[in-house]
Amino acid sequence: MEEEKRPIDRRELKLRARQAMRESRPGAMRVTLVYLLLAAGISTAVGLLIPSPLTTYTVYTAMGADPETAVVLALEQAGGISFFLNILLTLLTMVLSFGYSAWALGRSRGEELGYRELFHGFRMAGRVIGMRLWVLVLTFLWGLAVAIPAALLIGALLLVGVSGGADGAVYLSDGAAIAVVVLVLVIYLAAVVLLAIITLRYAMSDYTLLDAPEAGAFAAVRRSKELMRGRKRTCFVLLLSFLGWFLLIILLMLLPMIVCGGLLMVAAVGAPALMLPIGALMTALAFLLPLPLECWLAPYVSLTCANFYNELIGRGAPRPQTPEWEFPAL
């Protein structure tokens, strides 16, 4: 277990975050709304310009083409271009989210920042993309380091438990089958924990790159690992405290899908012409219904994480005054 360093008051980090949201000009929710609309707008524009191969395949099959022909036509029409644009969209999203981190870090330090800060990442796009890709590579390599020994262990256990039957078939003994199931569950839980620990090692990379952009992407990742040594448990518990809000957002997103999904099944039988508008309504409601809560929760979490980083580097602010009324904690 990691040796815990100087305690960090999670409640105080959240109080500072809410105070920064109240004092933000323009408002934190408005900045977040612009950020979310930018991210969703880029994705929607790409989808409208170049439909995905799956969408194209669905259209061709609806027009009466056999499945094999539909696959070929979909890949010819949208496969390569869609793949390229999806990569471009991923890179743009990386840069935009870095800009939102820049806004949160500056706001946590009392700076008056506006919508322009959302485009901060484009000033150093190469370093931002390099840093994010390096984190992905490290996470992938650590994942392989877990997956390969796990596969070998399961394979060895299977070989030990396999026995030949009188009819010539190969059987797995009951004891070996139970052991394999238990081992798979243990390995899965261990992998989840390990990946969470690995992810938390790099959780401060955006902020370290913002504070020292001249050092480069690799140095930012190394600095994050140093800062998070002995602090990953605290960070995990801090993020876990927002779980209730995230579950509520998921519920608000699923609610229109459940209701409209039933309407789609009814329309498919009695009124196929209504399927398209019902599907559009479902998509719109799934985006709009949780949007107000997302616009409140995103800056709350981002500012709290920025405050956590400030504590790690010794730039913590004085304890804020608790207002008379606050949005209730879930």
- To the nearest 10°, report the CA torsion of 216, 219, 221, 226: -150
d(CA 161, CA 63): 52
Using left for φ > 0, alpha for ψ between -120 and 50, and beta otherwise, residue 175 falls in alpha
Q: What value does the CA radius of gyration of the chain take, rounded to a whole number of Å?
A: 25
- To the nearest 10°, report the CA torsion of 261, 265, 268, 273: -30
d(CA 235, CA 301): 12
Coil/strand/helix, residue 40: helix
Please compute, for residue 108, the number of CA atoms within 13 A of its CA located in the half-sphere on the CB side.
Answer: 29
Tokens in use for 97? Answer: 């989210």
Provide the pLDDT for residue 3: 45
Distances (CA, A) of 230 to 151, 201, 220: 30, 10, 18
Domain ranges within the chain, ordered by starting residue: 10-241+290-312
Coil/strand/helix, residue 190: helix
d(CA 190, CA 154): 14
* Count of CB atoms situated within 10 Å of the CB of 293: 14
d(CA 129, CA 121): 9
Q: What angle do CA 140, 133, 310 make, to 5 degrees?
A: 100
What residue ranges in the chain does DSSP mark as E strands? Answer: 162-164, 170-172
d(CA 36, CA 30): 10
- Backbone phi, then psi, for 24, in 5-degree steps? -70, 130
Using left for φ > 0, alpha for ψ between -120 and 50, and beta otherwise, residue 44 falls in alpha
* Count of CB atoms situated within 10 Å of the CB of 25: 10
Distances (CA, A) of 280 to 5, 55, 61, 252, 259: 51, 14, 20, 17, 13
Coil/strand/helix, residue 204: coil
pLDDT of the chain along its 330 residues, tens only? Answer: 344 466 788 899 999 999 999 988 899 999 999 999 888 777 666 555 555 555 566 656 666 666 777 666 665 655 556 667 777 778 888 899 999 999 999 999 988 888 999 999 998 999 999 999 999 999 888 878 877 887 787 777 666 665 555 555 555 666 666 777 787 778 778 777 877 888 899 999 999 999 999 999 999 999 999 999 989 889 999 999 999 999 999 999 888 888 777 776 766 667 667 767 777 777 778 888 889 999 999 999 999 999 999 999 987 665 555 554 454 443
Cβ-contact 301, 97 below 8 angstroms = no
